[in-house]
Chain A
C-alpha cells in the first residue's frame, strides 16, 4: 500500500515551453501533497504544499506564476513548469501523506527528471 506515482519519469523540452508533471496517490487519498526539487548532489528542497481544492502554499523564493500547482482531486496533483529555462532542469519529486492514518510518513513518488534545452 501507500504508493505514489509520477508521470512522466523524464522529459526533455525546449526553452520557453511548458511542462506538466503529474503526481498520483494510487491506493490512498491525499488531501495534501508536497512538491520538491533536487539539483544534482544536493538535498531535497520543498517548493510548495498542495492542498486538495485550494491554492498551493509556496515556499519563500519559489515563483508561484512559474510553477503552477493544481490539486484537483484527492489522488492527483499536477506541477506545471511554465516558460521553462535551462536553470529549471532538475529532478522534481512529489510526496503525499495519508491523513486518514496516524502515521506522519510521507510517501514519495519516483521523481521526474526535467531537462530544458
Chain B
C-alpha cells in the first residue's frame, strides 16, 4: 500500500524566515496531495492541496510543489509568523475506491519571535 514519509519531524525558524517541509510517497497512482495544519487537541485544517496534474500551487504565503517523477511534494511557508506554529501533516490519496488518505508522520513547526 501507499507509504508517505515526511521530514523533518521538527523545524524551528525565526519569525519572517521561510519554512520548508518535504514528503515522499510510494504509489505512483496517488493523485491528490493535501497539507494540514493541526493545533493541539484540534481537528486537522486543510491549508493547501494539489492534484497530480499541477506542478505548483500558491495561496498567499503558502505554496506546494509536486514532482511526480521523483514522487515527492513540499510545503513552503514564507514570511513566517508566530501563529504558524503548529504540527503540519502531508497526505496522499490514491485514485482508487474510497480515495482514502495516507498521512505523513508530521512536522512540529516552531516560529521563534
Contact = CB atoms under 8 A, between A and B. Distances in A.
Interface of A: 32, 34, 42-46, 49, 51, 57, 91, 93, 95, 97, 104-106, 108-111, 113
A42 B41 contact: no
Given A104-B32, A104-B93, A105-B34, A43 B43 contact: no
B58 interface: no
Interface size class of B (residues with CB under 8 A): 20 to 34
Interface string B49-67: 1010000000000000000
Contacts of A49: 98, 100
14 contacts: A34-B98, A43-B89, A44-B44, A44-B89, A46-B101, A46-B102, A46-B103, A95-B101, A104-B49, A104-B99, A105-B34, A106-B34, A110-B43, A113-B41
Contacts of B93: 104
A33 to B, nearest CB: 10
Contact of A106 (B42, B101, B104): B101
Contacts, number: 49
Contacts of B44: 44, 93, 108
A44 B46 CA distance: 14
Contacts of A34: 98, 100-101
Contact of A105 (B49, B98, B100, B102): B49
A94 B89 CA distance: 16
Contacts of A51: 98
A43 B105 contact: yes
A115 B42 CA distance: 16
B106 A43 contact: yes
Contacts of A91: 41
